[in-house]
Amino acid sequence: MESTGVHQQASWAQEFAAGCLVAVIGVGAAWIGKGYGVGTLQQMQPGFFPVAIGAILAAIGLTLAIGALRRRAREPAGETQILQNPDWRGWGFIIAGVLAFLGLGHHGGLAPASFACVFIASLGDRTTTWKQALALAVAIAVIGSIVFSIFLKVQMPIFGWASL
Amino acid sequence: MIASALSNLWFGFGIAFQPHNLLWCFAGVLIGNIVGVLPGLGVLATISILLPLTYALSPVSALLMLSGIYYGAQYGGAICSILLNLPCHPPHAVTCLDGYPMTQQGKGGVALGLTMLGSFFGASFGIVQIIFLAPVLVSIALQFGAPEIFSLMLLGLLAGSTLAKGSPLKGVAMTCLGVLLSLVGTDVTTGTPRFTFGMIELSDGIELVALALGVFGVAEFLRSVNRVSPIASGLGRVRFRDMRPSRAELREAAFPVLRGTLVGSVCSLIPGTGPTIASFVAYALEKRVAKDPSRFGHGAIAGVASPEASTHSSVQGDFIPTLSLGIPGDSVMALLLGALLVQGIAPGPQLIREHPDIFWGLIASFWIGNVMLLILNIPMIGIWVQLTRIPYRYLYPSALFFICIGVFSTNNDMFQVGETLVIGIVGYVFVALRFEPAPLLLGFVLGSRLEENFRRSMLTAHGDLTVFLHRPLSATFLALCAALILGQTYFRLLRKQPLLEIPQDETAFE
């Protein structure tokens, strides 16, 4: 949306993967929806809408995938990579940051959870130093604890080792 | 009609001037302005983060604040574009083209000053448009039955997914996916749990905040981490007295502002064409009517004033279909509608009558907010410029924390944090495959009402699908849908840009 990610047109491989993904979701939704009972237009069962939406998704997915394969025939030298410039470090640390919040929020309280979340997530950026990450994490943990636990009364203790 | 509008507006100002509403409106525009200036943090992410905090507020205050973020960010976004050549917000991408050259020529202050004045004019026009148009739409919409609502929603969803940026087919896929996600949880009519996969936590459905923060927060960070370059600019020094345009400059900007405002107000009425498209159309129009088009791109005043005015008039006009019909035109409006739903208020044509305090209070607050923004921006411009220097590497970890705690606080439930993470990761996969996330939210917010109205229509028509064609208004909406699809396919087959020719800008568009 706002950021400066590199945006070329989707490659045929991406388009193909996109089509397959949408088609699989559509077929899956329709399959599960069928289990809820479809009924008739006059007497609709809970499964009617899911099956209908699933069918539309499957059709769109197929159209995308077929279009991609036809493009492949036209541009044989096209890009085949699906993931362009993967950034495993950034992804790993951001996901780990949220997981840390999940775990520590359950078993440690707001302060350790927010510290761990911000510290770990900061390390995902390649230019951040340990010291910067530490400083930011401490600052956010302090501000977060004060604002959310004391002022906004979010139901999470600042330190809650006992709530295991 | 004018008299009743004025008395209603007077009533609205009474609501908006209540101290706590005034405070929240100020908080909204202030946060919006900050977010607008900060590169890498979007309006959608911010509104979603603050959404859980508004649950404790009254509906009026909540809506005043959240809307304030939206239009406040537009003022901030202009600063970013003009002084730093950074299209922080898609609607302002086009302002860079002439705004930054003006900064390079030492006229950045003037460009900003003109932008602020033009924006205020555009916004005011947009507000007047709401005041007079929304009641008219409402009086029509109050006669709608289930078939009309269904067809109108279909039209809104189709326009929202195909007219905006990106591939139309993928847009429709995302909309359907959003509708599918809205079906998760207990079916209202029969009580059957759907798509819950045996998880009790999902029986109430997917939380709007979890979806919005997953897609516009987590997924966005996954996409932007290590990809947002730090800002280096020595040009961004602007003082208050630099911002006063001369009389000649004002005269040069007057007509472009007027034209831009009109373009924006027209764009706001077509669902799916929000401020971004409005600003591009306004720029293209200025270039066409200019006596000397070669000046564009080298600091033409018209190239700054017109798109900015059109953005603002379109931003305010965007509220018309949302408030009067309950059908959002873009994802920001979908979020605001979600905020209303969370507050237990059913959006739709009955909103103005049943909750006049919300409608008129909100409109009055737009004016108050826009005045606040002028006061905030003109004397304090130096501070805003400083803010743009906050690097992304400090922003996203902090925002991630706010996301976690915000999602948790909606229900005091850690499950939602996990839900957000999963949605974020899956959402990123879709973004990486070049899907636009915005239609997803539209589909999600409208999905359950779409199903409900379809079921109701079928029940009363005894399963006769032609009921949608027998009722004239419903048939008109469906005809527009068909025209939209045919038009898109036609342009596709001709290998042209879909409907509107939008310049390729790698930061804002695909």
| Measured CA distances, B83 to A14, B72, B105, B240, B373 (Å) | 36, 18, 11, 14, 18
Comparing A116-120, B49-53, B163-167, B170-174, which segment has the lowest mean pLDDT?
B163-167
CB-based contact, A150 to chain B, within 8 Å: no
pLDDT of residue B430: 94
CB contact under 8 A, A90 and B225: yes
Residues of A in contact with B393 (CB under 8 A): 122, 125, 127-128, 132
CB contact under 8 A, A117 and B397: yes
Q: Which element (helix H / strand E) includes A129?
A: none
Other beta carbons within 10 angstroms of residue A130's beta carbon come to 10
Q: Using one digit for the tens of pLDDT, what is the confidence trace for B35-53?
A: 888 876 778 888 988 888 8
How high is the mean pLDDT of chain A? 85
CB-based contact, B425 to chain A, within 8 Å: yes
Pick from B304, B317, B380: nearest CA to B67: B317
Q: Using one digit for the tens of pLDDT, what is the confidence trace for B430-446?
A: 999 989 888 899 899 88
CB contact under 8 A, B183 and A32: no
CB-based contact, A92 to chain B, within 8 Å: no
**Residue B393 to residue B411: CA distance in whole angstroms:** 30
Residue B510 pLDDT > 60, yes or no? no
> What ipTM is given for this predicted complex?
0.90
Q: Using one digit for the tens of pLDDT, what is the confidence trace for B280-318?
A: 889 988 888 888 888 888 888 899 999 999 999 998 988
How high is the mean pLDDT of chain B? 86
Q: How confident is the model at residue B230 (pLDDT cuts 50, 70, 90)?
A: low
What are the two backbone dihedrals, phi and then psi, of residue B186, each rounded to the nearest 5 degrees?
-75, 130
Q: Using one digit for the tens of pLDDT, what is the confidence trace for B385-410?
A: 778 778 888 889 999 999 999 888 88
CB pairs below 8 Å between A and B: how many? 223
Q: Which A residues, 52 through 91, put their C-beta within 8 Å of a C-beta on chain B?
A: 53-54, 56-57, 60-61, 63-64, 82-84, 87, 89-91
CB contact under 8 A, A63 and B179: no
Distance from CA of B417 to the nearest CA of A (A): 7
CB B123 within 8 A of CB B78: no
Q: How confident is the model at residue B492 (pLDDT cuts 50, 70, 90)?
A: confident
Q: Which B residues, 151 through 170, put their C-beta within 8 Å of a C-beta on chain A?
A: 167, 169-170
CB-based contact, B440 to chain A, within 8 Å: no
Residue B228 pLDDT > 80, yes or no? no
Q: Which A residues, 98 through 117, put their C-beta within 8 Å of a C-beta on chain B?
A: 98-99, 101-102, 105-106, 110, 113-114, 117
pLDDT of residue B174: 94
pLDDT of residue A101: 94
Q: Which residue has the higher pLDDT, B252 or B385?
A: B252
Residues of B in contact with A47 (CB under 8 A): 194
Q: Using one digit for the tens of pLDDT, what is the confidence trace for B66-88?
A: 999 999 998 888 888 888 787 77
pLDDT of residue B323: 87
Residue B62 pLDDT > 90, yes or no? yes
Question: For residue A113, what are its two tokens?
Answer: 């959870």
Q: What is the average per-residue pLDDT within B343-362?
A: 88
Comparing B113-127, B264-278, B369-383, B496-510, which segment has the lowest mean pLDDT?
B496-510
pLDDT of residue B184: 94
Pick from B393, B409, B217: nearest CA to A119: B393
* Proportion of chain B above pLDDT 90, given as a percent: 33
Q: Which residue has the higher pLDDT, B10 or B191?
A: B10
At a CB cut-off of 8 Å and minimum separation 6, what does A73 contact? none
CB-based contact, A154 to chain B, within 8 Å: yes
Q: Which residue has the tokens 């495959």?
A: B433
CB contact under 8 A, A64 and B170: yes
**Residue A9 to residue B9: CA distance in whole angstroms:** 48
What are the two backbone dihedrals, phi and then psi, of residue B363, each rounded to the nearest 5 degrees?
-65, -45
Q: What is the average per-residue pLDDT within A86-92?
A: 89
**Of residues B226, B230, B437, nearest to A90 (C-beta):** B226
Residues of B in contact with A60 (CB under 8 A): 169, 172-173, 176
Q: What is the average per-residue pLDDT within B460-477?
A: 90
**Of residues A60, A91, A136, nearest to B169 (C-beta):** A60
CB-based contact, B194 to chain A, within 8 Å: yes
Q: Using one digit for the tens of pLDDT, what is the confidence trace for A39-51?
A: 888 888 899 999 9
CB-based contact, B143 to chain A, within 8 Å: no
Residue B178 pLDDT > 50, yes or no? yes
**Residue B107 to residue B338: CA distance in whole angstroms:** 42
Chain A: residue whose CA lies nearest to B510:
A7
CB contact under 8 A, B224 and A140: no
Mutate to test the interface with A, among B192, B405, B411, B506 (most CBs of A within 10 A): B405
Residues of B in contact with A33 (CB under 8 A): 194
Chain B: residue whose CA lies nearest to A82:
B433
pLDDT of residue B501: 43
CB contact under 8 A, A56 and B176: yes
pLDDT of residue B68: 94
Residue B506 pLDDT > 50, yes or no? no
pLDDT of residue B188: 81
Other beta carbons within 10 angstroms of residue B80's beta carbon come to 28
Other beta carbons within 10 angstroms of residue B197's beta carbon come to 8
| Measured CA distances, A155 to A149, B343, B409 (Å) | 7, 20, 7
Chain B: residue whose CA lies nearest to A112:
B401
Residues of A in contact with B226 (CB under 8 A): 87, 89-90, 124-126
CB-based contact, B397 to chain A, within 8 Å: yes
CB-based contact, A140 to chain B, within 8 Å: yes
At a CB cut-off of 8 Å and minimum separation 6, what does B452 contact? B188
CB contact under 8 A, B227 and A144: no
Q: Which residue has the higher pLDDT, A4 or B285?
A: B285
**Residue A132 to residue A142: CA distance in whole angstroms:** 16
